[in-house]
Amino acid sequence: MATLTSTLADPTKRTAVIADAARIVEEQVAATTGLRGMGLKAGFKAFQRIRPGIVPLALDRLFPHFTPVLDPLWAEAVRSGDADAWFRQHDERVADALLGVTDGLASRAQNKVMLRIYQGLRSQARGHVLAGVLRIPELIARHVR
């Protein structure tokens, strides 16, 4: 079975995966509501002001860290027979694994401004990542063959 790691090794496929993932992130942010949604959108805009095009750039840098976490989870989901249902049932496990990656990277961050923004958003991050986890099977199934 192909993996996300092997898919991203192909530069053309990597570009398509990153673009699709960026679209999903932007849709997730746009779909947030309420006070927390306002905070997320404000933080997201701050990131974008600091560095235009940050979403695809960040995803390009994060995917090599995410794929060792996602590949075994995806394999388990596929073995279950219904990847979408598996991700719904294990959303907390997937979200915590992904946040573990970003927390580890943040602990080594050199850019103080980006780190401050990350730390300010981190308390809300789990809920947002949980919502985004449900879109992961769509992303992987579209690109990993």
pTM summary value: 0.84
Q: Is the pLDDT of residue 110 over 90?
A: no
% of residues, the chain, pLDDT over 90: 58
Has residue 122 got a pLDDT over 90? no
Label residue 17 by pLDDT band (50, 70, 90): very high
What helix, strand, coil percent values describe the chain, rounded to 5?
85, 0, 15
Identify the pLDDT of residue 4.
93
- Burial class of residue 64 in the structure, from the number of CB atoms within 10 Å of its CB (0-12 exposed, 13-18 middle, 19+ buried): exposed
Residue type, 21: A
CB 55 within 8 A of CB 105: no
Spatial separation of the C-alpha atoms in residues 84 and 77, rounded to whole Å: 8
Choose among 143, 5, 17: nearest CA to 66.
5
Helix (H, G, I), strand (E, B) or coil at 1: coil
